[in-house]
Structure 1
Amino acid sequence: MINEIEVIKTKNSKINEVDFSNLKFGSVFSDHMLECDFKDGKWQAPKVVPYAPISLDPAAKIFHYGQSVFEGMKAYKDADGNVLLFRPIDNVKRLNISSKRLAIPEIPENYFMDGLKTLLEVDEAWIPTQDGSSLYIRPFVFASGAGFHASPANEYKFIIATAPSGAYFSGEVRVLIEEKYSRSANGGVGYAKAGGNYAGQFYPTQLAIEKGYQQVIWTDDNTHEYIEEAGAMNIFVRINDTLITGPTSDRILDGITRKSIIELAESENINVEVRPLKVAEVVEAAKNGSLKEMFGAGTAAVISPISGFGYKGDDFELPKLEDTYASFLKKRITDIQTNKVEDPFGWRLQVK
């Protein structure tokens, strides 16, 4: 434990200006944030401060060489007002895996967890209680040290900011299977939550939006024959009664929601296959009627059903099923997250 985390409270809370019954995702921000600086070769003591703009030197290396990684988490309140997190240690570990790949100093686990718990205690009133809502948590690290030399920075800043949020996506989405652009490559940083990974997705996604789709299904960088991710999420495909998702690799993020879905589905005796999945297999399944579901999986949306997809100029619709794996698994996960059911996996952590 850190002996004590300094807390500097805001003098002007914004909470009374917020309509908690009508929250968009990630557009309203809580009163405080956690801030921690790396300098003189070590991480300094974290502190909770009022949410405010950051002042940086124009030569800060984040602007020039993109040393930036982040995580996505949520905090919930159950019916008794307990504050809950979902698999937070996995987020700490993945943030450090990402940091290591981008030559960013790793955050001590207790700095992250003690700092986050303190922040949630200070801003507990910002955690919404409406169904489908949560306090979205964004931990991130970036290079604050200045210099034009192409090398790692000597100073970094770690921040945790939070945003009371409603649903990330509403309804089903239509996707376009990508044939030209790639999200990541072998030996690259696709497995890390690096900011640049997402910047590189925006242009191909915009092209898909102009064609009437909401997201892109990413394929492998070499042949574009294998399905890898759905937009900024992992992807699952149900053929007959088997749930299929690609294996993690240099190119595919080791999603925490992805891991949870696999473990939960297996515990419910749903057949799960983690293997390379060819686009041709999905197209053939759509044509012969064995393709039952496709959905994205990630922290923000939990599970986002896909209603149809486009490929090589053709569009394919997925069947409208009454009982889907997507709805069943999403309910099971969110019920665990919000303490509505027992947690046999030990995923839920009570903060207060």
Structure 2
Amino acid sequence: MSAFGTVFTPEMIISRFENNNWSTPQVVKSDSITLHPGAHVLHYSSTCFEGLKAFRHADGGIYIFRMDKNVARMAQSSELLSLPKIDQTMLSEMITDIVSRFAADVPNPPGSMYIRPTHIGTEPSIGKAAAPSLQSLMYVLLSPVGDYFAGGAKPLRLLLEDNARCASHMGMVKSGGNYASALQPIMKARAAVQADQVLFCPNGDVQETGAANFLLIDGKEIITKALDASFLHGVTRDSILTLARDRGMTVSERQLTVDELLERAAKPDAEAALSGTAAVLTPVGTLIHDGKEHTVGTGQGGPTTNALRQALNEIQWGQAEDKHGWLTKVC
């Protein structure tokens, strides 16, 4: 079986921004991009992207989950990176057009079509370290994927690190540079303590991991950091919190310190999880801090984590009512 995200459809859809205008989107071969070696993105990391999914329902219909939210976040990322302003309506149409074109390739649940819109600065200039690219390329790439955890979600081990994932004003930007800056700490954590991920906690403030938002579940309460510029405003995070409120849970979006996290995690019924597009909601079983391992609750995926994950999946798969209007029908 191919690794998650390594199989692509043979075509994608692109549009270029030149002379202050976006070109009419075109379907091209997925390996057809060429870049000048002086392209702004290659030297100054003017790039952002999104990750969302399309699902096949039992009636054969294809539905995209929370496309509007992802498109709006990509527009925000583009603006914060000083990339050309994107046309949100055009990007939405690009997404639905290319998904419709490859509707037959959308797997049945628990598989899905992973959708990767990307925006990069293409102006050939190595003299613009302090100036934006006036040319850019936006494309939508598709990857049919199976279940992220084919053998079931194993509880993760997280190393708590007293550093930030990225520059504090850049956290809410979904940019490749933020993932690159987290890679070395994650690799070192895997080698040193066999951690799956690093939970970044600058000055004791629990924020996020290298690729997902963090949630602590204490009985009927979910605690997670309040939205600010320092970390990514996850669409799955927002969806899980909404479903938690629907179930009568208390959602506390506030500062969470490392000390409070470890104290609450020691409770027998405590749960913790990571939320993201690929893995949906993944249980956290162990927190590693100052050379000591702390078991979260029973160390296994708890009932609330499992219930919230199932509730979200059932909406995505068309097995439960879409009360919040999260699904966009493509065909």
Identify the TM-score tier after normalising by the shorter chain.
Answer: over 0.9
| Alignment-derived partner of residue 199 in structure 1 | 180
Question: Counterpart of 1:176?
Answer: 159
Residues 91-110 of structure 1 mapped to structure 2, 5 A cutoff? 91-110=70-89
Q: 1:55 aligns with which of 34, 40, 46?
A: 34
Between the aligned partners of 2:189 and 2:281, the Cα distance in structure 1 is 21
3-state DSSP class of the match of 1:96? helix
Shift of the 65–199 alpha-carbon distance from structure 1 to 2, 3 Å rule, reads: same
Write the distance in 2 (CA, Å) between the matches of 1:156 and 1:72: 19
One of 281, 296, 302 as aligned partner of 1:303 = 281
- Secondary structure, counterpart of 2:270 in structure 1: strand
Cα deviation, 1:268-292, whole Å, max 9, x if unaligned, reads 11122111001001112234x2561
- Contact map agreement 1:138 1:160 (CA 8 A) in 2: yes
Partner amino acid for 2:324? F
Residue of structure 1 equivalent to 2:205: 226
How far has the Cα of 1:320 moved from its partner?
A: 4.8
Provide structure 2 residue ranges, at least 5 long, that are not aligned to the other structure.
Answer: none
How far apart in 2 are the matches of 1:124 and 1:23? Answer: 20
Listed as ranges, the gaps of 5+ residues in structure 1 are 1-21
Q: 1:166 aligns with which of 122, 129, 146?
A: 146
Q: Is the 8 A contact 2:225 2:253 kept in 1?
A: yes
Q: Does 1:155 align with 2:155?
A: no
Q: Assess if the C-alpha contact under 8 Å between 1:31 and 1:123 holds in 2.
A: no
Task: State the alpha-carbon separation in 2 of the partners of residues 214 and 342 from structure 1.
Answer: 34
1:342 Cα offset (Å)? 0.7
> Which residue number in structure 2 is paired with residue 28 of structure 1?
7
In 2, the alpha carbon distance for the partners of 1:286 and 1:42 equals: 52
SS in structure 1 of the partner of residue 222 of structure 2: strand
The one-letter amino acid of 1:163's match is S
CA deviations over 1:188-235 (Å, ceiling 9, x no partner): 211010110000000000111112111000113xx2x11101231111
Assess if the C-alpha contact under 8 Å between 1:23 and 1:164 holds in 2.
Answer: no
Q: Does 1:312 align with 2:290?
A: yes
Q: Secondary structure at the match of 1:118?
A: helix
**Distance between the aligned counterparts of 1:295 and 1:275, measured in 2?**
17
User: Cα RMSD (Å) of the superposition?
Assistant: 1.5
2:178 is paired with a residue whose SS is helix
Q: Are the equivalent residues in 2 in contact too, given 1:240–1:290 (CA < 8 A)?
A: no
Deviation per CA, 1:112-137: give whole Å up to 9, x if none. 111111111211121111x3211100
| 2:222 pairs with 1:243 | yes
- Partners in 1 of 2:200 and 2:299 — Cα distance? 24
**CA–CA distance in 1 between the matches of 2:40 and 2:277?**
29
Report if aligned partners of 1:23, 1:166 keep a CA contact under 8 Å in 2. no
Q: Which residue of 2 aligns with 1:217?
A: 199
In 2, distance between residues paired with 1:323 and 1:51?
41
> 1:18 aligns to what?
none
The amino acid across from 1:173 in the alignment is: L
When the two structures are superposed, what TM-score results if normalisation uses the length of structure 2? 0.94
Q: Deviations over 1:122-168 (max 9, x none)?
A: 11121111x32111000010011101112211210001001011233
- The answer on whether the counterparts of 2:83 and 2:134 sit within 8 Å (CA) in structure 1 is no
> Which secondary structure does the structure 2 equivalent of 1:227 belong to?
coil
Share of identical aligned residues, percent? 31
Shift of 1:332: 0.6
> Which position in structure 1 is the counterpart of 2:25?
46
Compute the TM-score of the two structures, normalised by the length of structure 1: 0.89
